[in-house]
Every structure is written in structure tokens, then in C-alpha cells.
Amino acid sequence: MASGHTITVEQGTEHVRVVRGGQVLAESRRPLLLHETGLPVRYYLPPEDVRTDLLTPSDTSTHCPWKGDASYWSLPEAPDLVWAYPVPKAEVAEIKDHFCFYDTEVVTD
């Protein structure tokens, strides 16, 4: 890890939901919360809680020196809407195959 750059992953109990065009793409009460220096909290959702049937794999991939290589999925009108780390670095192994969306809302029950 670079000096001053930290990443922590914790099991959350928040009720989070991702809605796009009136359709629920994901809903979970067991997100993983990833805290990374300089970035907002990201919610990584278990694949069972994501409508993967609505998503199309993208050719896009990105590399993060701290998390590894990300794969992306798209909707017809929203390219690269969601990403996951199929083989994350050991420090963040918990997020393997969990999906992360840019726009995740926390639902207050």
C-alpha cells in the first residue's frame, strides 16, 4: 500500500438498492462497504442480490493498484454501469465477484 492510502472492507447491514429507469437492478441488506482513501464509500453487493440477467458484459476493464483488475457490465442505455473484481488482490479478497454500482441508494426502512 502506498503511504497514506488505505482500503478497508466491512460487512454492512444497510438496505441498499439500485434503480435505473424505474427498474430495480439490485437490492441487498448485506452489502460489503469498501472504504478507500479519497473516495466515497462503495457498496459491493453479492451476486445473488443483483439482476445479472439484465446486464451485458462489457469489453471494458480497468486496473486499480490496490484492488486489482475490474470487469464491467452495461445496460443498453448505460455503458459500464457496474463493475466487479473477479480476482481481487488479497487485501480486499472479500469483494470477489461482488457487484458495485456508481449510483447506490441507501434505503431507510
pLDDT in tens, 42-76: 999 999 999 999 999 999 999 999 999 999 999 99
- Asked whether residue 1 is domain-assigned, the answer is no
pLDDT at 97 over 90: yes
- Asked whether residue 41 is domain-assigned, the answer is yes
In angstroms, the CA 91 to CA 66 distance is 8
DSSP state of 54: G
Name the average pLDDT for the chain. Answer: 94
Place 103 in a pLDDT band, splitting at 50, 70 and 90. Answer: confident
pLDDT at 3 over 80: no
pLDDT at 96 over 60: yes
Residue 61 vs residues 13, 17, 53, 82: alpha-carbon distances, Å:
29, 24, 20, 11
What's the total number of domains in the chain? 1
The domain that contains 78 carries what CATH number?
2.170.150.40
Length of the chain: 109
Task: Give the pLDDT mean for 30-46.
Answer: 96
Task: Give the pLDDT mean for 24-45.
Answer: 96
- Range(s) of the domain holding residue 56: 7-107
